[in-house]
Amino acid sequence: MLLLAHRGASADAPENTLEAFSEAVRQGADGVELDAQVCGSGEVVVCHDERLDRLAGLPWQVGTTAWWKLQRADVGTSLGFRPARIPLLEEVLDALPSHFLVNIELKCAQVRDGGLSRRVAELVTQKGLSERVVISSFNSMCLFRVAAVAPSLRRGLLIHPDRPWAPQAHLLSPLVSSHSVHPHHSACTPERMEEWLNAGLRVAAWTVDAPERARELEALGVSYLITNRPGALREALRSGRQDPD
């Protein structure tokens, strides 16, 4: 089971920043999970929230704010860390080591995605990263678009815990998931895990910091475990401790 750092090592560095991804490398993660969206001037940036209120105390909409302006936002201090900035997806991909798995989540709640899916698919393909990138999204239309642009890219549907289970797991996922399925860890029952594994899908479960739950998921056959604390969790799993500290 591979440990993917959730938005980087986000318990120890500001989420979705170069600092968080560098910390994930330092902690010995196997890869990272990150969020990608298109900003107002068309660049693909790495940021989870649609607005920067939580991250920077600013009422800016990422989707309508130009990249030159977004670079001025401090997304570290409000989270209790040193100042940090929003990076471009291309910057992050260039900074990560060549052995890292990268789970890129496409953030888009609308039917139209402003070119996000196409731009991410083209960037991953141009950089020759197809063998170590998995593209996921709650938005099945984004995954359809990725498949249209680059059919060989590995795709996985994120299953939303607050939406009806059956349409996501039994209708949408078989249509758009070519590599994996991405449920909340609480949805990983033995029966569902068996169904996914029999379908040839890997399972990426989120977000787990507790060693006991991580061990349960590994025994069930989870391939990718997304965690805020990759270093502490790996050490706890190796030592047999219950507490990741």
Residues 78 and 153: their CA atoms lie apart, in Å, by: 36
- Are the C-beta atoms of residues 107 and 36 closer than 8 Å to each other? yes
Residue from 220, 219, 189, 226 nearest 205 by CA: 226
What's the start-to-end Cα distance of the chain, in Å?
Answer: 20
Cβ–Cβ contacts within 10 Å for residue 223, how many? 20
Active-site residue identified among 6, 99, 160, 185: 6
Q: 120, exposed or middle or buried, with CB in 10 Å at 0-12, 13-18, 19+?
A: buried
Residues 6+ apart with CB under 8 A from 228: 5, 6, 7, 9, 10, 11, 207, 209
Active-site residue identified among 48, 99, 160, 182: 48
158 DSSP β-pair partners: 182
Residues 101 and 23: their CA atoms lie apart, in Å, by: 15
Residues 214 and 2: their CA atoms lie apart, in Å, by: 11
Q: Is 48 one of the catalytic residues? A: yes
> Which of the residues are catalytic?
6, 48
